[in-house]
Structure 1
Amino acid sequence: MDTTCALCDSPAHPGASIRLCLTHLLEAHDLVDAEFGVTDALPSPCAFCGSRLGVRYPSGWLCAVCEWRVGEPPPEGQAASRVDVVYYLRFRDRIKIGTTANPAQRFAALPHDEVLAFERGDRTVELRRHDRFAHLRIPGTEWFETDPDLLAHVDRVRSAGGGDDPWALLARWRSEAAALRV
């Protein structure tokens, strides 16, 4: 069996499934990366769907979920897929129940230690949650005392989303909303 590179006289790289030296294997790898891209975390969430997963090409990044080219504005007349969510934030020993269509922007203005969960819903769902946990509400705020019933509710919301990272769930919802608009 020949152990030299099929393209030159160098020794073939041990363990390679084709007879190529390391230099030619790396060249082939670069060609494949350029053609098919490399899946990796985006430098920042996709502006269109919110996904954090992308494909890196020599020419730039594409969102792996909606294939939006990172850095490009939406086509005229289109905006990011709006998905209203009820969110659950923890700050110290309190939980905030609120709603927004832009969690990243909203959370930048809120003190919090952890994003506990998202559930799809608007003000109507948020008000139902406020009513349900009214006995725990800190007067004049959307913050609630932590108790086992509220924590169990947050766990159920998170489990209903597949137990996923809340941000990944939001990205999926935005991608689904974008697909429905097309």
Structure 2
Amino acid sequence: MTTACGIRSRDGATCAEPIEPGAPLPLCTTHLLLAHDWVERTTGAVDLLPAPCAACGHPVGRRYPAGLVCERCDWRVGDVPDDGVTDASVDVVYYVRWRDRVKIGTSASPRRRLAVLPVEEVLAFEPGDRLLERRRHEQFAAHRFAGTEWFALHADIRAHVADLTIGVGDPWVLVDRWTSHRLAARA
């Protein structure tokens, strides 16, 4: 079994440093760090933004040698959004869970709206306005708590949410995509 790194330099010299214990590749510490730095320059390092993104409000970014960008929308930190970028709204019907209940509501600013609701989990979104919300309320009326937008967490609602989230790990990704499409359509 090899215990030395063995990486060859451009001039053909072999690295004789010991392999870093537990490393996923048979490299010494120096060469592992060089590989890490190269990957980080290429893919960026995840980092908190100094303030929420000016374009989408996301708090996490990626740090590159050329600067820091929002991880969600790639907006460069420090750039001022053009007029109309931050007010790009997309009407969505949202499904959120609190205990054994699901609220089906609508908003053009779901991040702001859901920030003030009792929410344990964001289940799904679908593009739509009050008309679609009304149709969903009628569709699931048998499970509705009278006079509210809250419904019992029933198998029918679970199945609908499952259909909306096929292939989606994070429902917010869809809202971001729809917002990006809206912005692109304005350009």
Same fold by TM (over 0.5)?
A: yes
Equivalent residues of 1:50, 1:174 under 8 A apart? no
Equivalent residues of 2:124, 2:161 under 8 A apart? yes
- Larger RCO, structures 1/2 (Cα 8 Å, 6+ apart): 1
Q: 1:79 aligns with which of 80, 86, 90?
A: 86
Letter in 2 for 1:83: V
Unmatched 5+ stretches in structure 1: none
Q: 1:175 aligns with which of 176, 180, 187?
A: 180
Letter in 2 for 1:146: L
Q: 1:131 aligns with which of 125, 133, 138?
A: 138
1:128-167 pair list within 5 angstroms:
128-159=135-166, 162-167=167-172
- Deviation track 1:133-156 (CA, whole Å, cap 9, x = no partner) reads 122221221111222212211211
Letter in 1 for 2:89: R
Paired-residue identity, %: 48
From the superposition, tell whether residues 64 and 79 of structure 1 become closer, same or farther in structure 2 (CA, over 3 Å): same
Unmatched 5+ stretches in structure 2: 1-5, 20-25
Under a length normalisation based on structure 1, what TM-score does the superposition of the two structures give?
0.72
Equivalent residues of 2:56, 2:86 under 8 A apart? no
Following the alignment from structure 2 to structure 1, what is the Cα–Cα distance between the partners of residues 114 and 38?
Answer: 41
What is aligned with 2:22?
none
1:13-162 pair list within 5 angstroms:
30=37, 33=40, 36=42, 38-40=44-46, 43=49, 46-49=53-56, 54-58=61-65, 60-64=67-71, 66-159=73-166, 162=167
Aligned partner of residue 40 in structure 1, secondary structure: strand
From the superposition, tell whether residues 163 and 28 of structure 1 become closer, same or farther in structure 2 (CA, over 3 Å): closer
Following the alignment from structure 1 to structure 2, what is the Cα–Cα distance between the partners of residues 4 and 116?
Answer: 49
Under a length normalisation based on structure 2, what TM-score does the superposition of the two structures give?
0.70
From the superposition, tell whether residues 116 and 4 of structure 1 become closer, same or farther in structure 2 (CA, over 3 Å): closer
RMSD, matched Cα: 3.5
Choose 45-54 or 74-83, whichever is displaced more: 45-54
Following the alignment from structure 1 to structure 2, what is the Cα–Cα distance between the partners of residues 167 and 153?
Answer: 17
Letter in 1 for 2:107: T
Deviation at 1:72, TM superposition (A): 3.9
From the superposition, tell whether residues 142 and 31 of structure 1 become closer, same or farther in structure 2 (CA, over 3 Å): same
